[in-house]
Amino acid sequence: MGPRLRLCKGCTLLATGLIAGVVAGAFTRPGLLWGAGALLLALVLGALSLRLRLPKTLGRWIPGAGLGLALWAGWPSVFAALLIVAVVGDRYRRRGVERSLCQTCPERLRRPCSGFAPAVRRERAFRRRVDRWLGELRR
């Protein structure tokens, strides 16, 4: 039996939104104005999702669909979409995983809650392994 595949909900929604946007753009061939509107929507919602805890559909799927649609709106739109992906992706990597409390969750005061416990265990195990590797290198 192979390793279990773990897919992040946000990344999965972003990818499916991007695919849906590309398919919609291929069929509709939007003009530059529609591409700019889709990019603006993707930029606003994507940036908001880095600051606020938005629902994943709103913060990932719709921006992905907007970027996918914009890829069919002409070269200026393609360039802007790639630039947005690079900048927002870099900000997301620098910010790291969102671990703020879920306001409606009954476990919000547990550290870590049952939703984050598996990820925290994996991170701790990885940190222990890396510390062992670094210790062996120092000897």
Could you read off the pLDDT of 40-66 as tens digits, one per residue? 988 888 778 777 778 888 888 999 999
Clarify whether residues 91 and 111 are in a common domain.
no
What CA–CA distance (Å, rounded) separates 11 from 34? Answer: 25
Q: Is residue 37 part of a domain?
A: yes
Higher per-residue confidence, 34 vs 92: 34
28 and 78 share one domain: yes
| 3-class secondary structure per residue, 95-118 | HCCCCCCCCCCCCCCCCCCCCCHH
Q: Is the residue at 1 inside a domain?
A: no
Any domain includes 32: yes
131 lies in the same domain as 82: no
Residue type, 80: A
Q: Which residues form the domain of 92?
A: 7-98
Are 89 and 34 contained in the same domain?
yes
- d(C-alpha 95, C-alpha 102), whole Å: 18
Evaluate whether residue 82 is within a structural domain: yes
| pLDDT tier for residue 21 given thresholds of 50, 70 and 90 | very high
Q: Where are the alpha helices (DSSP H) in the chain?
A: 9-28, 32-51, 56, 62-70, 75-95, 117-138
| 29/77 same-domain check | yes
2 lies in some domain: no
Is-above-0.75 flag for pTM? no
Statement to judge: residues 12 and 45 lie in one domain: yes
Are residues 11 and 31 part of one domain?
yes
Q: Are 89 and 117 in a shared domain?
A: no
Please indicate, yes or no, if residue 64 is contained in any of the structural domains.
Answer: yes
The pLDDT of residue 74 is 85
In angstroms, the CA 68 to CA 13 distance is: 13
Residues 91 and 139 in one domain: no
Q: Is 29 left (phi over 0), alpha (psi -120 to 50) or beta?
A: left
> What span, in angstroms and rounded, lies between the C-alpha atoms of 111 and 123?
15
CB 69 within 8 A of CB 25: yes
**Number of structural domains the chain divides into:** 2
Quote the CA–CA distance of 59 and 71 in Å, as a whole number.
Answer: 19
